Structure 1
């Protein structure tokens, strides 16, 4: 089984790429964010540790994590972000390793781990290759404002909190340019998969 890590800045179009790889090549997709969200549901160890660290003011009226409030705290404060990551990332890594073992038993050919923080969290150590989805920042900004309804400040904060292109390039085995039409991206993906 090939384990591929896919990373890139927010708004790079990673989700569309994952859907394509799943639909065309039967790749098993594991999104670290989705794993993290599941592990932070009310009643989990992660949830309890986050509330202990950040206080009950980060909860909504149902007693679940208010992700926007938490994001507001951690995106603008490196120390608080590190505290949150220290709680969440070890649990996510453990769950991803469990999923990999399960897929290996099922003889899966292609297992993809997607994470914007793949390099920072060292998930790259689990992967045979790392693919970087590149889109220039101005296009990512537009996508986030139009498709997710984020305001310009939120977009700037998120982009500023992520690794610069140079760091992605240094750590990745392949680059997928997703700045143009998705048909062009598909051609790149087909070439890469054929090369595996």
Structure 2
């Protein structure tokens, strides 16, 4: 049985690092951000809806999405962000559910969905386990500074995401603390992964959504 693990957490907490470790252990990793980029680039209906909602300024002269212009509109504006997510999230979810079905058909041992908005995007329901990847705020800000993000921008980004952690914590089956050395954190993630494979649930732990296999 393929186990589906949802990994979520705030920016700078280590979701992608944990995902890479699990991929090295044999999991199929689906990056929701990459899927969202693919959807907004490759689905003309989604792009048309975005341009219709936010105006022609979010389109480049060639007709593709101007991500910087769109970000300038939605960052710091919860209403605009909600409108954007109402367009993008359903398409992302459909694409991810199709990828899950494909990975299950290939008998992959595990599927990992990496998504900062795992709960809000309706993806937690497709998971057997939800992992919340977290760390202390000071560590988070230090990591963002290491990426070249200005302190004020890092503080604003983390503050804007604060409620996401609480919603994820409410459904999380495991908390992966990424404080400590890389070796220590990798050992925690590896142990959690092996536990998940050793005792897969008989039915999804978060069953309120659509069955990704369609059965």
TM-score by length of structure 2 reads 0.84
The structural deviation recorded for 1:42 is 6.0
Residue pair 2:117, 2:164 contacting (<8 A) in 1 also: no
Corresponding residue number in structure 2 for 1:158: 157
The structural deviation recorded for 1:62 is 4.3
**What CA deviation, in whole Å up to 9, does each residue of 1:11-68 have, x standing for no partner?**
1111111111111x21000011100100111662111111111112123454422223
**What CA deviation, in whole Å up to 9, does each residue of 1:65-100 have, x standing for no partner?**
222322222121111001000000000000011111
What pairs with 1:58-97 in structure 2 (closer than 5 Å)? 58-97=58-97
Please give the alpha-carbon distance, in whole angstroms, between the structure 1 residues aligned to 2:89 and 2:164: 21
SS at 1:119's partner residue? coil
Gaps of 5+ in 2: 197-215
Say if 2:48 is the partner of 1:12: no
Corresponding residue number in structure 2 for 1:50: 50
Gaps of 5+ in 1: none
Corresponding residue number in structure 2 for 1:109: 109
Say if 2:150 is the partner of 1:139: no
**What CA deviation, in whole Å up to 9, does each residue of 1:94-114 have, x standing for no partner?**
001111111111111100001
The structural deviation recorded for 1:164 is 5.3
User: 90-99 or 14-23: which moved more?
Assistant: 14-23
Alpha-carbon RMSD across the aligned residues, in angstroms, is 1.6
How many residue pairs align between the two structures?
194
Question: Which 4+ runs in 1 deviate beyond 4 A?
Answer: none
